């Protein structure tokens, strides 16, 4: 069954710690994305990648980093530089840019 | 600068009646529009889309209308069902844009 797997589903982090969220897809999609959801603010784009070994900053990239070493994987690291990291993080993929996105189930990060 | 706006945070409708969700955009480069449905703690799922060469697209109970001159799109759900209760996001992109921009979302509640 093709889809996107995000892990962990829930994650707790102490202030000052970096944390990495995993995103794996078996849809053979070229493009992958990370969005953040906060109440009342919809989905905001953090980073996106249209091809392996290449990625671009989205609207709110500060305090985050990504890598795209394999087509099926696009991990997101939330660094200690991110001021308000508590949020629901969504990974998505698409056949190409600006196409229909398929989303994972999300990861909820809480900073204690 | 919010390029995609959903000005109604919530909408309440009686079962069997029509639900109309609205979305406005400002970027003339957008030429592809989508609606997503999201339940709490889950990823959004694709509902319906429309390209800028059309003004209407229909799929079962869901119809999306696009008014390019007003930079406005709407989603009609007829008849509404309690299972339609969710957050609805509109999104916009372009063939040369490379990413989707989402609105803030509208919480739809359908009462039995």
| Chain B residue whose CA is closest to A101 | B46
Q: What digits encode the pLDDT tens for the residues B52-73?
A: 999 999 999 999 999 999 999 9
Under DSSP, the state recorded for B84 is G
What pLDDT shows up at residue B95?
A: 67
Distance CA A109, CA A93 (A): 21
A61 and chain B in contact, CB less than 8 A:
no
B22-50 pLDDT, tens digit per residue, is 999 999 989 899 999 999 888 999 999 99
Nearest CA in chain A to B48: A100
Question: B53: which residues sit within 8 A by CB, 6+ positions away?
Answer: none
Per-residue pLDDT of chain A (112 residues; tens, 9 = 90+): 679 999 999 999 998 899 999 999 999 999 999 999 998 788 999 999 999 999 999 999 999 999 999 999 999 999 988 889 999 999 999 886 657 899 999 999 999 8
Q: Is B50 on the interface with A (CB under 8 A)?
A: no
Q: How far is CA A71 from the centre of its chain?
A: 14
Which residue of chain B is at minimal alpha-carbon distance from A33? B99
**Contact status of A33 with chain B (Cβ, < 8 Å):** yes
Number of separate helices (H) and strands (E) present in chain A: 0, 11
Angle, CA A24 vertex, CA A18 and CA A69 arms, to 5°: 75
Whether B93 contacts chain A with CB within 8 A: yes
Chain B residues with CB inside 8 Å of A108's CB? 41
Q: B34, B43, B88, B104: best mutation site toward chain A, by most A Cβ within 10 Å?
A: B43
Verify whether the Cβ–Cβ distance A42 to B97 is below 8 Å. no
């Amino acid at each position: 069954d093709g889809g996107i797997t995000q892990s962990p589903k829930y994650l707790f982090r102490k202030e000052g710690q970096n944390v990495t969220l995993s995103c794996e897809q078996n849809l053979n999609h070229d493009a992958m994305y990370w969005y953040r959801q906060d109440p009342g603010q919809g989905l905001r784009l953090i980073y996106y990648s249209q091809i392996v070994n290449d990625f671009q900053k989205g609207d709110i990239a500060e305090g985050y980093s990504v890598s795209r070493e394999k087509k099926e994987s696009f991990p997101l690291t939330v660094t200690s530089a991110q001021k308000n990291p508590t949020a629901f993080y969504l990974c998505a993929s698409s056949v190409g840019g600006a196409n229909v996105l398929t989303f994972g189930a999300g990861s909820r990060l809480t900073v204690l | 600068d919010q390029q995609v706006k959903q000005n109604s945070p919530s909408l309440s409708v009686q079962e069997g009646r029509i639900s109309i969700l609205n979305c406005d955009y400002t970027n003339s480069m957008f030429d592809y529009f989508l609606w997503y449905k999201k339940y709490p703690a889950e990823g959004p799922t694709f509902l319906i889309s429309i390209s800028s060469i059309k003004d209407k697209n229909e799929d079962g109970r869901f119809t999306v209308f696009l008014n390019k001159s007003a930079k406005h799109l709407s989603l009609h759900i007829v008849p509404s069902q309690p299972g339609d209760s969710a957050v609805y996001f509109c999104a916009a992109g372009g063939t040369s844009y490379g990413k989707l921009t989402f609105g803030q979302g509208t919480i739809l509640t359908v009462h039995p």
